[in-house]
Amino acid sequence: MRPPQRSDNVTQALQTAREHLRAGRHAEAEACLAPLVKVNPKHAAALQLLGVIALARRDFAAAADFLEKSLAADPRQVQAWNNYGAACQALGRLEQAIGAFRRALELQPGHAGALNNLGVLHARRNELTEAEACYARALEANGKDPEVHNNLGNLLMRRGRAGDAAACYRRALELKPGSPDALGNLGIAQLRTGQSDEAVATLRQALALRPASPEILFNLGNALAARESLDEALACYRQALALKPDAAEVRDRLLHQQQRVCDWRGLEALAAAQRAALRERPDAVLSPFSIACIPSSAEEQLLAARNWARNMLGPVAGLKLGFSFTPGPRERLRIGYLSGDFRAHAVSRLVVELFEVHDRSGFEVCGYSYGPEDGSSLRGRVVAAFDRFADFAGMSHEDAARRIHADGVDILVDLSGYTQYSRAEILALRPAPLQVHYLGHPGTLGTGFVDYLLTDRFLAPPHLARFYAEQPVYLPSHQVNDRQRARDAIATRAGAGLPEDAFVFCSLAQSYKIWPDTFAAWMRILRATPGSVLWLPQYNRWVADNLRREAAAQGVGGERLRFLPPVPYGQYLAQLALADLFLDTLPFNAHATAADALWAGLPVLTCAGDAHPARLAGSILTAAGLPELITGSLGEYEARAIALARDPQALLALRTRLKREGEASLLFDTPRFARALEAAYREMWRRYAAGEPPKPVESNTF
């Protein structure tokens, strides 16, 4: 038998091993510990340190084995329990991990490491309240741990509290300056709170520390895009994609931003890759809005929405806030409208009069905003139109949902979907017994927690119903409008920079809606109508150069494309009347812009497809009483445009009819829309109160 080791030798060996471990010399530490374990296979301290070495090497199975043996020898080792929990967590043995962290806390209730680790586990299991409580206790025990501040920030981001999260990341950076993780997270929080310039600066610091990070490059691209530095944003996305070629979310942003600047190099290949990712990678995070902007089928758009809802909203939908509802008759139904666009935005320009003309004898109307407050007169008008109004800026998803529930909202109508500033997480928490989607997002949300979609029979005909997760509510018109929108004094072509004697085609939808095939059709139309021009919006400084280059490649001189910068809304409405014919986009039609054109007396020619975004203008024209301006193919669309350009009398007849009948049409009959919608709300509630499931509602005969 070997003689027992002397106590002072054992102590020295453990001390030396710890010094090696702190310095990252794992092999040397292991060499110090091996003799101790050889002599005493149950040496608790040596086994614990061997477990720590295995953790550092990411050999989690070996770590768990060493730590189990160490704890069997001495079950009162707090740090060993904490490390054992970390090993189990890495191995996916979550229940064992939770048990280990809790055992460490039984032995030392204020153990900051165990509290932090338990918080991470709760967050992973979507137990957000428990996770936040753990982080708070960890910071009480040790407020100088940057990792806990960073983890708390991540949790607050998930809860929709980006401002509070930013404060956590800043504290983490005070404690550990130059942390690329904290810098990267702070940049995301700044971007979420609308501080795009600050986000760019922060993310550039993070990138300098970690230049080969596709995640930081991706987020920097998002921040640059938010402040309209689109060329730099594209460069970031391309670098990120070069580092991580299978990153569908990076490809998603690259594709959409290329569309915004009309840079179509490689566009078809990018779109094909995204459609393939939809089918092959259900875990890929692809924006349903971006998918709507490329040629895609109704089935693919539903799939994109379902994937997004599962990946991005699934964890929130699993939270249980204990909401209960009381079905039954209501003297006045309480309707809540939820949006990120209660500002000078197309959505508010469409819906504001609806809020004003709702029948207050049967309905109470509440507004819930989570977008920016822009101080505009339209914002003021929207707020004044509601019986009660709440701003959710800075409020967590859960607290926003609690406010809606506390207000007793019967039917919650979402007006944003997956568009900018989206907080569909509030809907996922189901704060109202009935939830409805309308207007903002071009199609289904693909969830199980939105019951109805407001639409019409042209936009969502029954044969396409299977491509919507919601039940359709058929109204006289899909789109509601504000009849009070004012035009400025009559504009002149000379003042707008348009030729006096030319036929002026225009297409004033957003630049990302212009697809190469549609643009090619426009060029054929221009070639067939000598002297005509095409008026397009100058939404950013790259569009004109890129589209003129494309036109030249198709035999059309760049001077025939006229680009007008954005102008105030009233001036824009006045200028619309200067054009002769509005050419719609495909596969994503003009929406609010098409209604603006008709309001200004400008005929709109569209080509309708089979998916929701490609049927928007057709729906609007149907409600306006102009179905003859809906075509079914690009060939028919081209022929109709050329025929109208060559037949001034036919075009004049359309404009005269539009001026005479347009404002009296279904499209602009806001009170009629409101009555039909209110009837639909009553029917939805009747069914709910009777215990019936949602099913299609017909409310288009008023």
Per DSSP, the three-state class of 504 is strand
Which of 186, 269, 262 is closest to 231 using CA atoms? 262
Encoded amino acid at 352, one letter: V
Per DSSP, the three-state class of 319 is coil
Assessment of whether the complete model's pTM goes beyond 0.85: yes
Question: Does the bond joining 587 to the residue before it have cis omega, within 30 degrees of 0?
Answer: yes
- Report the number of secondary-structure helices (H) and strands (E) in the chain: 32, 14
Tokens (6 digits) for 507 = 């297409």
How high is the pLDDT of residue 701?
Answer: 59
CB-CB contact of 579 with 535 (8 Å): yes
Distances (CA, A) of 180 to 163, 174, 188, 427: 19, 13, 12, 33
Low-confidence ranges of the chain (pLDDT < 50): 1-4
| Cβ-proximal residues to 515 (8 Å cutoff; 6+ apart), any chain | 294, 295, 585, 586, 587, 588
Angle at 618 between CA 613 and CA 623, to 5 degrees: 125
Domains and CATH numbers, the chain: 1-143 (1.25.40.10), 333-474 (3.40.50.11380), 493-668 (3.40.50.2000)
pLDDT in tens, 262-289: 999 999 999 999 999 999 988 888 999 9
Phi-psi region of 645 (alpha: psi -120 to 50; beta: other; left: phi over 0): alpha
Beta-bridge mates of residue 390:
368
Say how far apart CA 220 and CA 308 lie, in whole Å: 22
How high is the pLDDT of residue 2?
Answer: 47
pLDDT in tens, 146-192: 999 999 999 999 999 999 999 999 999 999 999 999 999 999 999 99
CB-CB contact of 53 with 30 (8 Å): yes
How high is the pLDDT of residue 6?
Answer: 57
